[in-house]
Structure 1
Amino acid sequence: MSGRTKLTYVESKLFLRDPTAVFFVIALPIMLLAIFHFVTTKSDDDAATKASMAAFVPAMAMSLCLTMLALNLLPTTLATYREKGILRRMAASPIHPGNLLLAQLFINLVTAAVSAVLVLIVGRTAFDTKLPGDVPAFLVSFVLGTWALFSIGLVIAAVAPSSKSATAMGLSLLFPSLFFGGAFLPKEDLPETVSTIGDYTPLGAALQALRDSWENQWPQTLHLTVLGVIAVAATAAAAKLFRWE
């Protein structure tokens, strides 16, 4: 087993021992699916509104999990390693500290994929939630959304000197993202100004792109462009700003 593979294995075990991570990946999306399924099935909304909510609920659950991983778990973990001097000590070992960054990215990406699969499977089998109508559009939206959100998390990890500061920075972005991105209420129920701002946020663009794929539509060019620009720009910024100690 190579050093990089062994490091990834060890980091995976540490990740799975964290109950917070397990909650965000498994419990939270399923809880959201159950709650919104109960609310929508008991409501008196017309058929069109219920159809819209049927696309909103799984896309929202998936997007929220990605946001939690990107803005909370990933930057806090890497900032903790910097704060405790783990990255500095690894620099003196045969294993380059960059491998730790790659391991964390790999773990979080796999976690995001697992969460997405759980939302699709549980939503379909337990709550009769429809699957994305346009699979290629869904894959493009999910990949771009994951990249954009995780790149923001890497920027936080690059500049946060401690776990507390990483958590504070992540939360300062999390709640505005949820509000403007339409995670609390569907885009069509938000004020026009808030909805417009949300189109230019990574969560808002990702959520709307996923909703479009669920409704058998190709995502809007605006949303895909926003995700692509944020992903490239934030990734470059994280690489430029990142410090091992």
Structure 2
Amino acid sequence: MSSSTSAALRLVRAEFRLAPRDPMTLTFVLVFPIVCMLIIGGAFGTTPDRAFNNTNPSQWYVASYFTVVIAATGLVMLPVHLASYRERGVLRRFAAAGFPRWSFALAELAVGLVTIALAGVLLLVVAAPVYGVPPVHALGRVLAGLVLGSIAFVSLGVLLGTLLPSARSAQAVGLLLFVPSFLLGAGGPPPKVMGSVVKHVGDVLPLTWVTRTIREPWLGIGTPTASLLLVAALAVVATALAARRSAL
């Protein structure tokens, strides 16, 4: 194993040890989607409804809230984590220690993707005995949307964290972006009951694209190829910008 690869792996391990030391944002990622899924899923019941494309509303929200985990990680957890590093001069110390330029972006990508995976599994474990986990109708498409959406939002999180000057500002901006994305793009009312203006706003939100690429093939109510292409493009652009901004 080369010295640069070994150094990068050390940085990845260090990031996994440091991530749990920010319990507030980690709790937000792990707990908030589950609590909201339980409340909103229970409010709409389990009887198939036209507003939910004739599917079980509670299972609609189980599929939808998987993307809330992605948004919480990318828009709140990672920006706060990285901005706090900038405040404390941690990035300068990493650079001075001789870590490869690409290693920090790799470490944050790994932390973000593993966090999403763990939080997503936890959400399904809680949902299973309460509402049941809806059967996956098109596994390949769901996995494609999940992977590309996760990469896109993790990269957006890294980019935000390198642009914002402090953890407090990162938290404020992250929540400002997260709340409308959450309400209009995944966790709020179904699009069919939204007003036309609100629905048009929701249609241009990246989280809406990600939610469609996961929820529709999961529930068997559509094959949103256009949304998947948009998510793929976002993942490529955001990853390139994040890698450039986070180079040590």
Q: Classify 1:243/1:83 alpha carbon distance in 2 versus 1 (closer, same or farther; 3 Å).
A: farther
Aligned partners of 1:209 and 1:219 also within 8 Å: yes
Which secondary structure state, in structure 2, belongs to the residue aligned with residue 130 of structure 1? Answer: coil
The 2-side partners of 1:158 and 1:233 are apart by: 16
Is structure 2 residue 167 aligned with structure 1 residue 163?
A: yes
Following TM superposition, the consecutive aligned residue runs of length 4 or more in structure 1 with deviations greater than 6 angstroms are none
Q: In the alignment, which of 31, 35, 58 is matched to residue 31 of structure 1?
A: 35
Residue number among 72, 75, 80 corresponding to 2:79 in the alignment: 75
Alignment match, 1:127? 131
In structure 2, the gaps of 5 or more residues are none
CA distance in 2, matches of 1:31, 1:239: 33
Segment of structure 1 superposing worse, 142-151 or 178-187: 178-187
Alpha-carbon distance in 2 for matches of 1:241, 1:31:
34
Give the secondary-structure state (helix, strand or coil) at the position aligned to 2:55: helix
Task: Find out whether 1:229 has 2:233 as its counterpart.
Answer: yes
1:152 aligns with 156
Contact 1:90/1:96 (8 A) holds in 2 = no
1:56-113 Cα distance to aligned partner (Å, 9 max, x none): 2112221111111101111121121122111112212133464233222201101111
Map 1:17-28 → 2, pairs under 5 A: 17-28=21-32
SS at match of 1:94: coil
Query: What amino acid is the match of 1:70?
Result: G
Q: Which of 192, 201, 204 lines up with 1:200 in the alignment?
A: 204
Q: Which residue of structure 2 aligns with residue 239 of structure 1? A: 243
- Mapped to 2, the partners of 1:46 and 1:9 lie a distance apart of 46
Count of residues paired in the alignment: 242
What is the SS of the residue equivalent to 2:204? coil
Amino acid of the structure 2 residue aligned with 1:125: P
Write the distance in 2 (CA, Å) between the matches of 1:105 and 1:168: 22
Q: TM-score, normalised by structure 1?
A: 0.85
Give the C-alpha shift of residue 218 in structure 1.
5.0
2-structure distance, mates of 1:116, 1:182: 14
Deviation at 1:7, TM superposition (A): 2.7
Task: Confirm or deny: 8 A CA contact 1:178 1:184 kept in the other structure.
Answer: yes
- The structure-2 alpha-carbon separation of the partners of 1:111 and 1:46, relative to structure 1 and needing over 3 Å to count, comes to closer
3-state DSSP class of the match of 1:51? Answer: coil
Q: Residue 117 of structure 1 aligns with which residue? A: 121
CA-to-partner distance for each residue in 1:12-34, whole Å, 9 max, x for gaps?
12212332244234322332332
Residue pair 1:159, 1:243 contacting (<8 A) in 2 also: no
**Residues 33 and 168 from structure 1, CA distance in 2 versus in 1: closer, same or farther, beyond 3 angstroms?**
closer
Aligned-pair CA distance for 1:234: 2.3
Shift of 1:118: 2.4
